[in-house]
Amino acid sequence: MQTESRLKLALQPVVSFLDRSKTPYFIGGSVASSYHGASRSTLDVDLERQWNDLTTVAKLNAKLLDLEYLHSWSRTKGLTDLINRLLEATGRH
């Protein structure tokens, strides 16, 4: 099976979910480059959600955000920088 076919098969459940939920996305990184014929060894998937959507939701719910939980959770997932950027965008730290 060619790389393009295997990638389509592997990504189909994710893409179907994102399409059904009307979630804007794009696929980048080594998976995208491999799909287009420039194979890379990492084969990780970079799914980017629109940053504006995230900051808008966070701003609208800023008073409800549990900052202690967000910081704790982000440390366990390795997402500290991302959460900090999101909180800065909402005016909370």
**Residue 40: left (phi > 0), alpha (psi -120 to 50), or beta?**
beta
- Asked which of 62-66, 75-79, 89-93 is least confident by mean pLDDT, the reply is 89-93
Per-residue model confidence as pLDDT tens digits over 14-71: 888 878 877 777 777 777 777 777 776 665 666 555 677 778 778 888 888 888 998 9
Q: What is the mean pLDDT of residues 67-91?
A: 87
SS3 49: strand
What was the pLDDT predicted at 6? 75
How far is residue 8's CA from residue 76's CA, in Å, rounded to a whole number? 31
How far is residue 49's CA from residue 30's CA, in Å, rounded to a whole number? 17
Q: Where do the H-state alpha helices sit in the chain? A: 3-20, 29-35, 51-60, 67-77, 80-90
Instruction: Give pTM, 2 decimals.
Output: 0.44
Own/partner long-range contacts of 76-85 (Cβ < 8 Å, ≥24 apart)? none
Confidence grade of residue 3 (pLDDT, cut at 50, 70, 90): low
